[in-house]
Structure 1
């Protein structure tokens, strides 16, 4: 996530008041957040290198937890998501995408939406449209978008594609944080995410483009310019995903969707950039970087 400008509660250039956490501009325990992030990255890397389908063993339970977090978050806004059909759909969509490709993914997603509608209508009509809409949002935002990583994984060089996707997108957070802390002065979307700055976004873009130009030729034997385009797509959609979740949480009146990851919040708070970037990165790689 892009790093912040000065917090409204702490004037620029002044130390936090006595009794505050003193976590600095990040607003969180940075060493703890880095440690958790490295642990997650190591887990993902091991899952991809041991066996090709190992990624599914990590991402499927993660999306079940993330979907549950999102259901609980929407409950704060009086939206009663039909959780059972959503969670069953989350468990099915990612393996379906890996085993059956885009057609199987669309069928699984369509059946999930149908199950949400049928399940909710048995509970009565008052508020049904709102709750069905919430269920469709959870199914689409979490498991459906994440399933595009399974489509990448299904290729012959699938593990390398997923590694490239995750590395490039994570560089958006790293570059944005560094640039925002060092030079963040101009808020990007103060009404949605006051901590984001245009300087941070520039850092995200530079880091993603450079990472793509290096990673795609190195791992996938593609052209450097194709990698740069992948990086640009990742930063644009990753930033949009981050802002989308910030807007959702602000509308619901909550700070984080969960607390399962110390220093980060909920699982969805950590993977929001990856979710929206996944379909676009999958498509760009499919078109510009043929399977070796």
Structure 2
């Protein structure tokens, strides 16, 4: 399979890539901007943040999800940016299927609801948010019996149909373990274009990164640490990155990561920080130490290193 390639877009005005932004070529042949704006639960400022990121800072990739509860506000920001002159085809919009929707009969309607909220005709990328199914109305964190394995093949077939019907351009996954990704690769007719997961110098997730590279899957790092150095660190690893901020100056700063590199010795130092046990949004959302199906972070991640 083809390996990920980095391409550089030409300079341009607000309708293009203002800072010569790098793009990652997906297995489908489409390209994805290497830096995207994360919109995780920043509801009160989501519209302004999205508009600022696209129009003033030059972002062309916006990452959101139904579970964040802000897709309508994100859609308003995208619409305002388009009214300001940014073309839809220059944008790359990502959203995710939440765990309650991971049954074959619910996939298409969930996607249509997302498109309605975002005021779009299609998504550039649709991801499975977490690799298990939650019952409607389940607790947070869920109790035993409220979580089950999902019909991976059935759900993926429905997502493949969304691509065929041109409602989605690319499909992928989030928060998959090596075990679950290998299972998906075995049954998939369309290989996932992207695998989005938590990564930073304290949790590099090297084995998962290598598995994705081997199969030509682009890795997107959810980089929770602030600063241009850590955004640049992700770029130099050959991944895309989704920094989150509602601060206009920080949004602009996070995009100013092209045209320079972290020196080799400093990059290697960041890569040699001892790995720590993964702490992610999943801990608060899914780990129930008393009567849950996941009683620890290790349970949630299939006890993989």
Common fold by TM > 0.5: no
Normalized per residue, the structure richer in helix is 1
Larger radius of gyration: 1
Bigger relative contact order, structure 1 or 2 (CA pairs below 8 A, ≥6 apart): 1
TM-score range, shorter chain: under 0.3
Normalized per residue, the structure richer in strand is 2
With structure 1 as the length reference, what TM-score do the two structures score?
A: 0.24
